[in-house]
C-alpha cells in the first residue's frame, strides 16, 4: 500500500491517488497527516499544489508536521519517497534532499507543459526509464527555481543525483527551455540512496493520453514493486 499524505490545504493529493490507483493500478490510500503510520506503507507520496496555504513559503510548515518524522523513517529504511512540486519543497525544507526552491526568476506563477530529460536512471523511480530520453510533462508553480551552492552542485553531479533537467526539443538544457531559472536547468533530484525523489513537474498530470500525455507514468509505475 502506498500512502498519499494530505496536509491541511494539500490540493494535488486526490490527483495522485487517482493516477496511482485508477491509472497505474497500485493500491493507494489518502492519509490525513495526523494519522500517518509509516510501518503500514511500502512507499509514500508528498503531493503537489499547496500545503498550509504556503504561508511563509512553499512546503515549510508541512516540513514540521509530525508526519514528516514518519517520512524520514521510511526514507532511511530505503522505502520509496516521492515529493511532487510542493512535496519537493517539503522534502528540501525537511532536509531529506539538498538545496532550496526560490521564486520563479520572472516572479510569475507558471502552468505549462515542458520537456524533461532523464539524466539519471540510477534511482528507484527512473530505473526503468531510458537514460537521455526526453518526455513532456506539466509544471504548475510559483516557487520552482532550484538553487544550490557550487559545492553542493558538484556533489550532486558526482553522485548522479540530478534526475531530471528542463530541455528544449533537441534535448539540450537551453536557457529558453528553463521555465523558472533553475540552477543548471534542474527539475528533479534524488538522495544518495536513490529512493527519495523530489521533482517540480507533475507526473500525476502526465499519466493519461486524454490529459495530454503519458510521459510521467513510468515514475508512478515504479511503485508497482512496492504495491502490496
Q: Which residues contact another protein (rule: CB under 8 A)?
A: 6, 8-12, 14-15, 18-19, 32, 49-50, 52-55, 105-106, 108-112, 138, 140, 142, 179, 202, 204-205, 208, 210-212
DSSP 201: S
CB-nearer residue toward another protein: 14 or 134: 14
Our answer to whether residue 85 is catalytic in this structure is yes
Q: Least CB distance from residue 29 to another protein, whole Å?
A: 16
Q: Least CB distance from residue 158 to another protein, whole Å?
A: 31
Which one from 12, 85, 93, 221 is the annotated catalytic residue? 85
Residue 17 CA to residue 26 CA, distance in Å, equals 9
CB-nearer residue toward another protein: 117 or 205: 205
Number of residues written out for the chain: 228
Alpha carbon 71 to its chain's center = 14
Phi-psi sector, 185: left (phi>0), alpha (psi -120 to 50), beta: left
Residue 92 CA to residue 51 CA, distance in Å, equals 14
Q: Is 32 helix (H, G, I), strand (E, B) or coil?
A: strand
* Burial 119-149, CB ≥16 within 10 A → b, else e: bbbebbbbeebeeeebbebbbbbbbbbbebe
Our answer to whether residue 202 is catalytic in this structure is yes
CB-nearer residue toward another protein: 50 or 88: 50
Which one from 93, 119, 202, 221 is the annotated catalytic residue? 202
Q: Least CB distance from residue 21 to another protein, whole Å?
A: 12
CB-nearer residue toward another protein: 151 or 170: 170
Q: Would you name the residues annotated as active-site residues? A: 85, 202, 204
Amino acid at each position: 500500500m502506498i500512502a498519499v499524505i494530505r496536509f491541511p490545504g494539500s490540493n494535488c493529493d486526490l490527483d495522485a491517488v487517482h493516477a496511482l490507483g485508477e491509472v497505474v493500478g497500485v493500491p493507494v490510500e489518502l492519509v490525513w497527516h495526523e494519522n500517518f503510520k509509516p510501518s503500514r506503507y511500502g512507499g509514500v507520496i508528498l503531493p503537489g499544489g499547496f500545503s498550509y496555504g504556503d504561508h511563509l513559503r512553499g512546503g515549510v510548515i508541512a516540513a514540521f508536521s509530525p508526519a514528516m518524522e514518519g517520512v524520514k523513517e521510511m526514507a532511511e529504511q530505503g522505502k520509496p519517497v516521492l515529493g511532487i512540486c510542493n512535496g519537493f519543497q517539503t522534502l528540501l525544507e525537511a532536509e531529506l534532499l539538498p538545496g532550496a526552491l526560490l521564486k520563479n526568476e520572472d516572479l510569475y506563477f507558471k502552468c505549462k507543459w515542458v520537456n524533461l530529460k532523464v539524466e539519471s536512471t540510477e534511482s528507484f523511480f527512473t530505473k526503468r526509464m531510458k537514460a537521455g530520453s526526453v518526455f513532456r510533462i506539466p509544471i504548475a508553480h510559483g516557487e520552482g527555481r532550484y538553487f544550490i551552492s557550487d559545492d553542493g552542485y558538484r556533489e550532486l553531479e558526482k553522485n548522479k543525483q540530478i534526475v531530471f533537467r528542463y530541455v528544449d526539443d533537441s534535448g539540450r538544457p537551453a536557457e529558453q527551455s528553463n521555465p523558472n531559472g533553475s540552477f543548471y536547468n534542474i527539475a528533479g533530484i534524488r538522495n544518495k540512496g536513490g529512493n527519495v525523489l523530489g521533482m517540480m513537474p507533475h507526473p500525476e498530470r502526465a499519466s493519461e493520453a486524454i490529459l495530454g500525455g503519458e510521459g510521467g507514468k513510468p515514475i508512478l509505475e515504479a511503485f508497482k514493486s512496492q504495491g502490496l
